[in-house]
Amino acid sequence: MNFSDPKTNILQLGLRENMRIADIGAGTGHYTLAAAAALGHDGKVYAVDIHEDMLKHIRDAAQQKGIRNIETVWGNVEKPGGTRLRDHALDAVILSNVLFQIEHTQNVITEIKRILKQGGKLLVIDWAGAYGGMGPKPDHVVSEHAAEELFITAGFHKQKDFRAGPHHYAIVFTAP
């Protein structure tokens, strides 16, 4: 079940044709597929996930829809170089519903800084609460304020924030 609208939310990134972006922790690929459509034939979306079954799901969905600008990447964003993407190669990164699941937040931030171009955009979307069992456990929720503080402390610049659906917040940052 998807509680936010990827097509609407990625509009906040200002994606254009020919861009190179990554969907980190791509899961079932809702954001990957929406971004691929926005980038046109010459753009590229790297769907990065640690679960091979999720990557297969994304490949199958892309094939069914005739989408050819997605590359799936098995990777662990919590390890240095874990996305296996080149340094400063990306125009944007999407990090949706990932913060509440990770143990090594600083490693994730370092990896995102490594792969984003200077001034590249980062879209962080996560659960605004626990909602009585829907979403993460209360002690796993990373509040909007905490997420903002994590990335600003790491040198990112906040551009804007918005509601990404009834249960999610979103923040757009630019890379240092």
pLDDT at site 133: 76
Q: Does a structural domain hold residue 99?
A: yes
Residue at token pair 């926005």: 38
Q: Does a structural domain hold residue 1?
A: no
Is the C-alpha dihedral spanning 145, 25, 62, 116 positive or negative?
positive
CATH number of the domain to which 116 belongs: 3.40.50.150
The predicted model scores a pTM of: 0.95
d(CA 166, CA 1): 13
8 Å CB contact between 7 and 168: no
- Which of the four pLDDT bands, split at 50, 70 and 90, describes residue 3? low
pLDDT at site 130: 86
Is the C-alpha dihedral spanning 138, 134, 48, 169 positive or negative?
negative
Element of type H or E holding 31: helix 30-39
pLDDT at site 175: 97
User: How many structural domains comprise the chain?
Assistant: 1
Domain span at residue 34 reads: 6-174
8 Å CB contact between 80 and 104: no
pLDDT at site 1: 44
Q: Does a structural domain hold residue 45?
A: yes
d(CA 68, CA 175): 28
